Amino acid sequence: MVFTDCDLDGVGSYCVFKWFTGNKDIPCEITTVNNFRKTFTTWLQNNKLSNYERVFIFDLDVHECADLVDDSKITIIDHHETHVDNAKYNKATTILKTYTSCSKLIYKELSKVYPKVKLTPQQKLLILMIDDYDCYELKVPHSYDLNIVLWSYKGKRLEKFVRDFGTGFYGFTSFHQNMIDFNYKKIARLKRECKVHQASIPIGGDTYKFVSTFADSCINEMADYILDVHDGDIGLVVNVRTKKVSFRKNKRVKINLGKLANRLTDGGGHEYAAGGMLNENFLEFTKLFQPID
Ligand SMILES: [Mn+2]
Protein backbone atom coordinates (compact mmCIF):
# COMPACT_ATOMS: atom_id res chain seq x y z
CA MET A 1 0.00 0.00 0.00
CA VAL A 2 1.26 3.45 -0.89
CA PHE A 3 0.23 6.84 0.47
CA THR A 4 1.63 9.71 -1.52
CA ASP A 5 1.22 13.43 -2.08
CA CYS A 6 -1.37 14.41 -4.68
CA ASP A 7 1.04 16.68 -6.59
CA LEU A 8 3.28 15.89 -9.56
CA ASP A 9 6.14 14.71 -7.37
CA GLY A 10 3.79 12.51 -5.34
CA VAL A 11 2.28 10.71 -8.32
CA GLY A 12 5.74 10.54 -9.88
CA SER A 13 7.10 8.88 -6.74
CA TYR A 14 4.44 6.21 -7.08
CA CYS A 15 5.35 5.58 -10.75
CA VAL A 16 9.08 5.31 -10.00
CA PHE A 17 8.39 2.92 -7.14
CA LYS A 18 6.35 0.67 -9.43
CA TRP A 19 9.03 0.68 -12.12
CA PHE A 20 11.64 -0.64 -9.71
CA THR A 21 9.57 -3.10 -7.75
CA GLY A 22 7.87 -4.44 -10.89
CA ASN A 23 4.56 -4.60 -9.04
CA LYS A 24 1.76 -3.62 -11.35
CA ASP A 25 -1.17 -3.20 -9.00
CA ILE A 26 -0.01 -1.51 -5.82
CA PRO A 27 -2.99 0.13 -4.12
CA CYS A 28 -2.41 3.83 -3.61
CA GLU A 29 -4.12 6.75 -1.96
CA ILE A 30 -3.19 10.33 -2.74
CA THR A 31 -3.51 12.97 -0.04
CA THR A 32 -1.84 16.14 1.23
CA VAL A 33 0.26 16.96 4.31
CA ASN A 34 -2.75 18.70 5.87
CA ASN A 35 -5.17 15.86 5.11
CA PHE A 36 -2.83 12.98 5.86
CA ARG A 37 -4.10 12.25 9.37
CA LYS A 38 -7.68 12.06 8.14
CA THR A 39 -6.80 9.98 5.07
CA PHE A 40 -4.77 7.53 7.09
CA THR A 41 -7.18 7.09 10.01
CA THR A 42 -10.10 6.65 7.58
CA TRP A 43 -8.11 3.97 5.77
CA LEU A 44 -7.30 2.26 9.08
CA GLN A 45 -11.02 1.92 9.81
CA ASN A 46 -11.32 -0.64 7.00
CA ASN A 47 -7.78 -1.94 6.81
CA LYS A 48 -5.16 -3.44 9.08
CA LEU A 49 -1.47 -2.76 8.78
CA SER A 50 -0.88 -6.43 9.57
CA ASN A 51 -2.70 -7.44 6.35
CA TYR A 52 -0.08 -5.67 4.29
CA GLU A 53 3.43 -6.76 3.50
CA ARG A 54 4.51 -3.11 3.78
CA VAL A 55 2.98 0.36 3.74
CA PHE A 56 4.90 3.21 2.12
CA ILE A 57 4.50 6.94 2.60
CA PHE A 58 6.05 9.15 -0.09
CA ASP A 59 6.62 12.87 -0.46
CA LEU A 60 4.69 13.79 2.69
CA ASP A 61 6.10 15.48 5.79
CA VAL A 62 4.18 13.35 8.30
CA HIS A 63 6.38 14.06 11.34
CA GLU A 64 3.37 15.48 13.19
CA CYS A 65 1.60 12.13 12.68
CA ALA A 66 4.39 10.03 14.21
CA ASP A 67 1.83 8.61 16.67
CA LEU A 68 0.09 7.03 13.65
CA VAL A 69 2.90 6.11 11.29
CA ASP A 70 5.78 5.07 13.53
CA ASP A 71 5.16 1.37 12.90
CA SER A 72 7.53 -1.41 11.88
CA LYS A 73 5.27 -2.10 8.86
CA ILE A 74 5.79 1.40 7.49
CA THR A 75 8.50 2.88 5.29
CA ILE A 76 8.62 6.65 4.91
CA ILE A 77 10.53 8.24 2.04
CA ASP A 78 10.60 12.02 1.82
CA HIS A 79 12.74 14.93 0.70
CA HIS A 80 11.25 17.89 2.61
CA GLU A 81 13.74 19.73 4.78
CA THR A 82 11.16 20.28 7.54
CA HIS A 83 10.69 16.50 7.68
CA VAL A 84 14.41 15.74 7.79
CA ASP A 85 14.85 18.28 10.60
CA ASN A 86 11.90 17.20 12.75
CA ALA A 87 11.67 13.44 12.22
CA LYS A 88 11.51 11.33 15.38
CA TYR A 89 10.64 7.74 14.47
CA ASN A 90 11.67 4.62 16.36
CA LYS A 91 9.97 1.75 14.55
CA ALA A 92 9.27 2.95 11.02
CA THR A 93 11.91 2.52 8.31
CA THR A 94 12.84 5.89 6.87
CA ILE A 95 14.74 7.39 4.00
CA LEU A 96 14.69 11.11 4.72
CA LYS A 97 17.08 13.28 2.75
CA THR A 98 16.86 16.89 1.68
CA TYR A 99 16.61 16.46 -2.08
CA THR A 100 15.18 18.31 -5.08
CA SER A 101 12.27 15.86 -5.32
CA CYS A 102 10.98 12.67 -3.78
CA SER A 103 10.76 11.01 -7.23
CA LYS A 104 14.48 11.48 -7.74
CA LEU A 105 15.26 10.38 -4.20
CA ILE A 106 13.30 7.14 -4.75
CA TYR A 107 15.08 6.67 -8.09
CA LYS A 108 18.51 7.05 -6.45
CA GLU A 109 17.70 4.81 -3.50
CA LEU A 110 15.92 2.04 -5.42
CA SER A 111 18.69 1.98 -8.05
CA LYS A 112 20.89 0.69 -5.22
CA VAL A 113 18.32 -1.87 -4.03
CA TYR A 114 17.44 -3.11 -7.54
CA PRO A 115 20.69 -2.76 -9.54
CA LYS A 116 19.34 -5.01 -12.31
CA VAL A 117 16.40 -2.73 -13.11
CA LYS A 118 17.30 -0.40 -15.98
CA LEU A 119 14.86 2.38 -16.71
CA THR A 120 14.07 3.45 -20.28
CA PRO A 121 15.08 6.91 -21.56
CA GLN A 122 11.37 7.90 -21.39
CA GLN A 123 11.15 6.86 -17.73
CA LYS A 124 14.31 8.77 -16.88
CA LEU A 125 13.01 11.80 -18.76
CA LEU A 126 9.79 11.72 -16.74
CA ILE A 127 11.79 11.70 -13.49
CA LEU A 128 13.90 14.58 -14.77
CA MET A 129 10.80 16.61 -15.66
CA ILE A 130 9.13 15.96 -12.32
CA ASP A 131 12.31 16.79 -10.43
CA ASP A 132 12.72 19.98 -12.44
CA TYR A 133 9.16 21.01 -11.67
CA ASP A 134 9.20 20.08 -7.98
CA CYS A 135 12.24 22.27 -7.27
CA TYR A 136 10.79 24.81 -9.71
CA GLU A 137 13.96 25.23 -11.73
CA LEU A 138 11.96 24.89 -14.97
CA LYS A 139 15.02 24.13 -17.07
CA VAL A 140 13.71 20.89 -18.60
CA PRO A 141 11.36 21.48 -21.57
CA HIS A 142 7.66 20.82 -20.83
CA SER A 143 8.08 20.10 -17.12
CA TYR A 144 5.76 23.02 -16.47
CA ASP A 145 3.20 21.72 -18.98
CA LEU A 146 3.32 18.25 -17.45
CA ASN A 147 2.16 19.75 -14.16
CA ILE A 148 -0.68 21.56 -15.95
CA VAL A 149 -1.84 18.27 -17.45
CA LEU A 150 -1.90 16.58 -14.02
CA TRP A 151 -4.01 19.34 -12.49
CA SER A 152 -6.32 19.53 -15.50
CA TYR A 153 -7.57 15.97 -15.06
CA LYS A 154 -11.09 15.97 -13.69
CA GLY A 155 -11.11 13.35 -10.90
CA LYS A 156 -9.02 10.16 -10.65
CA ARG A 157 -5.83 12.18 -11.15
CA LEU A 158 -3.45 9.43 -10.10
CA GLU A 159 -5.09 6.79 -12.31
CA LYS A 160 -5.15 9.11 -15.31
CA PHE A 161 -1.55 10.16 -14.84
CA VAL A 162 -0.47 6.52 -14.60
CA ARG A 163 -2.53 5.74 -17.73
CA ASP A 164 -0.88 8.58 -19.70
CA PHE A 165 2.68 8.65 -18.30
CA GLY A 166 2.98 5.40 -16.37
CA THR A 167 5.58 4.09 -18.83
CA GLY A 168 7.49 7.37 -19.06
CA PHE A 169 7.23 10.58 -21.07
CA TYR A 170 6.57 10.04 -24.77
CA GLY A 171 5.30 13.56 -25.50
CA PHE A 172 1.83 15.05 -25.18
CA THR A 173 -1.29 13.97 -27.05
CA SER A 174 -3.60 16.55 -28.63
CA PHE A 175 -5.88 16.03 -25.62
CA HIS A 176 -3.03 17.09 -23.32
CA GLN A 177 -2.14 19.98 -25.62
CA ASN A 178 -5.69 21.33 -25.40
CA MET A 179 -5.48 21.31 -21.59
CA ILE A 180 -2.17 23.17 -21.76
CA ASP A 181 -3.46 25.80 -24.23
CA PHE A 182 -6.58 26.36 -22.14
CA ASN A 183 -4.42 26.93 -19.07
CA TYR A 184 -2.20 29.50 -20.80
CA LYS A 185 -5.28 31.46 -21.84
CA LYS A 186 -6.62 31.40 -18.32
CA ILE A 187 -3.31 32.66 -16.89
CA ALA A 188 -3.21 35.49 -19.42
CA ARG A 189 -6.68 36.58 -18.28
CA LEU A 190 -5.80 36.34 -14.56
CA LYS A 191 -2.69 38.46 -15.13
CA ARG A 192 -4.67 41.13 -16.97
CA GLU A 193 -7.27 41.36 -14.22
CA CYS A 194 -5.27 40.98 -10.98
CA LYS A 195 -4.89 43.75 -8.38
CA VAL A 196 -1.55 43.98 -6.58
CA HIS A 197 -0.67 45.34 -3.13
CA GLN A 198 2.78 46.02 -1.72
CA ALA A 199 4.60 46.70 1.55
CA SER A 200 8.22 47.18 2.63
CA ILE A 201 8.88 45.03 5.67
CA PRO A 202 12.06 44.84 7.75
CA ILE A 203 13.10 41.30 8.69
CA GLY A 204 16.35 40.52 10.48
CA GLY A 205 18.17 43.73 9.51
CA ASP A 206 17.07 43.78 5.83
CA THR A 207 14.00 45.34 4.30
CA TYR A 208 11.99 43.26 1.85
CA LYS A 209 9.50 44.38 -0.75
CA PHE A 210 6.40 42.23 -0.39
CA VAL A 211 3.92 42.10 -3.26
CA SER A 212 0.59 40.35 -2.97
CA THR A 213 -2.47 39.45 -4.98
CA PHE A 214 -5.58 37.29 -4.80
CA ALA A 215 -6.02 34.12 -6.86
CA ASP A 216 -7.66 30.74 -6.43
CA SER A 217 -5.75 28.93 -9.18
CA CYS A 218 -2.46 29.26 -11.08
CA ILE A 219 -0.78 30.25 -7.79
CA ASN A 220 2.83 29.79 -8.97
CA GLU A 221 2.19 31.69 -12.17
CA MET A 222 0.55 34.61 -10.39
CA ALA A 223 3.31 34.78 -7.77
CA ASP A 224 6.01 34.78 -10.45
CA TYR A 225 4.12 37.41 -12.39
CA ILE A 226 3.71 39.93 -9.56
CA LEU A 227 7.32 39.37 -8.41
CA ASP A 228 8.52 40.02 -11.93
CA VAL A 229 6.33 42.98 -12.91
CA HIS A 230 6.73 44.83 -9.60
CA ASP A 231 10.29 43.70 -8.87
CA GLY A 232 9.23 42.25 -5.51
CA ASP A 233 11.37 40.26 -3.10
CA ILE A 234 8.60 38.14 -1.63
CA GLY A 235 5.32 37.36 -3.39
CA LEU A 236 2.14 36.38 -1.57
CA VAL A 237 -0.92 34.88 -3.22
CA VAL A 238 -4.03 34.86 -1.07
CA ASN A 239 -6.69 32.31 -1.89
CA VAL A 240 -9.89 33.52 -0.26
CA ARG A 241 -11.80 30.41 -1.31
CA THR A 242 -9.52 27.92 0.47
CA LYS A 243 -8.35 30.46 3.10
CA LYS A 244 -4.72 29.75 2.23
CA VAL A 245 -1.72 31.98 1.65
CA SER A 246 1.12 30.97 -0.67
CA PHE A 247 4.65 32.36 -0.36
CA ARG A 248 7.12 32.64 -3.25
CA LYS A 249 10.28 34.70 -3.66
CA ASN A 250 12.66 36.30 -6.06
CA LYS A 251 15.70 34.03 -6.58
CA ARG A 252 18.10 36.76 -5.38
CA VAL A 253 16.45 36.90 -1.94
CA LYS A 254 18.05 34.92 0.87
CA ILE A 255 15.18 34.20 3.20
CA ASN A 256 13.64 30.88 4.19
CA LEU A 257 10.00 31.03 3.17
CA GLY A 258 9.11 27.89 5.11
CA LYS A 259 10.09 29.62 8.33
CA LEU A 260 8.43 32.89 7.31
CA ALA A 261 5.19 31.08 6.43
CA ASN A 262 5.35 29.36 9.78
CA ARG A 263 5.69 32.63 11.66
CA LEU A 264 3.04 34.56 9.72
CA THR A 265 0.47 31.88 8.89
CA ASP A 266 1.13 28.76 11.04
CA GLY A 267 2.31 27.09 7.84
CA GLY A 268 5.54 25.73 6.46
CA GLY A 269 7.23 24.40 3.35
CA HIS A 270 10.44 24.89 1.42
CA GLU A 271 12.98 27.67 1.38
CA TYR A 272 11.66 28.91 -1.98
CA ALA A 273 7.97 27.94 -1.79
CA ALA A 274 5.74 27.75 1.25
CA GLY A 275 2.19 28.21 2.42
CA GLY A 276 -0.09 28.66 5.37
CA MET A 277 -3.51 29.66 6.57
CA LEU A 278 -5.31 32.96 6.20
CA ASN A 279 -5.48 33.52 9.96
CA GLU A 280 -5.89 36.50 12.34
CA ASN A 281 -2.15 37.04 12.50
CA PHE A 282 -1.90 37.27 8.72
CA LEU A 283 -4.91 39.61 8.47
CA GLU A 284 -3.18 41.94 10.93
CA PHE A 285 -0.01 41.76 8.79
CA THR A 286 -1.91 42.73 5.61
CA LYS A 287 -2.78 46.12 7.14
CA LEU A 288 0.78 47.17 6.22
CA PHE A 289 -0.02 46.76 2.49
CA GLN A 290 -0.93 49.50 0.02
CA PRO A 291 -2.47 49.00 -3.44
CA ILE A 292 -0.24 49.48 -6.49
CA ASP A 293 -2.00 51.32 -9.34
MN1 LIG B 1 7.84 16.81 -3.44
- Give the distance (Å) from ligand 1 centre to CA of residue 266: 20
- Give the distance (Å) from ligand 1 centre to CA of residue 192: 31
What pLDDT is attached to residue 271? 87
- Give the distance (Å) from ligand 1 centre to CA of residue 134: 6
- Residue 249 covered by a domain: yes
Q: Assess whether 87 and 229 both reside in one domain.
A: no
Last residue of a domain, one of 181, 207, 241: 181
Q: Assess whether 276 and 208 both reside in one domain.
A: yes
Q: Assess whether 264 and 152 both reside in one domain.
A: no
- Give the distance (Å) from ligand 1 centre to CA of residue 284: 31
- Residue 186 covered by a domain: no
- Give the distance (Å) from ligand 1 centre to CA of residue 101: 5
What pLDDT is attached to residue 282? 97
What CATH number does residue 159 fall under? 3.90.1640
3-class SS string, the chain:
CEEEECCHHHHHHHHHHHHHHCCCCCCEEEECCCCHHHHHHHHHHHCCHHHCCCEEEECCCCHHHHHHHCCCCEEEEECCHHHHHHCCCCCCEEEECCCCCHHHHHHHHHHHHCCCCCCCHHHHHHHHHHHHHHCCCCCCCCHHHHHHHHHHCCCCHHHHHHHHHECECCCCCHHHHHHHHHHHHHHHHHHHHCCEEEEEEEECCEEEEEEEEECCCCHHHHHHHHHHHCCCCEEEEEECCCCEEEEEECCCCCCCHHHHHHHHHCCEECCCEEEEECCHHHHHHHHHCEEEC
- pLDDT tens series, the chain, 293 aa: 999 999 999 999 999 999 999 988 899 999 999 899 999 999 999 999 999 999 999 999 999 999 999 999 999 999 998 899 999 999 999 999 999 999 999 999 999 999 999 999 999 999 999 999 998 889 999 999 999 999 999 999 999 999 999 999 999 999 999 999 999 999 999 999 999 999 999 998 999 999 999 999 899 899 999 999 999 999 999 999 999 999 999 999 999 999 999 999 998 888 889 999 999 999 999 999 999 97
Last residue of a domain, one of 181, 207, 242: 181
Q: pTM of this prediction?
A: 0.84
Domain span holding position 259: 194-292
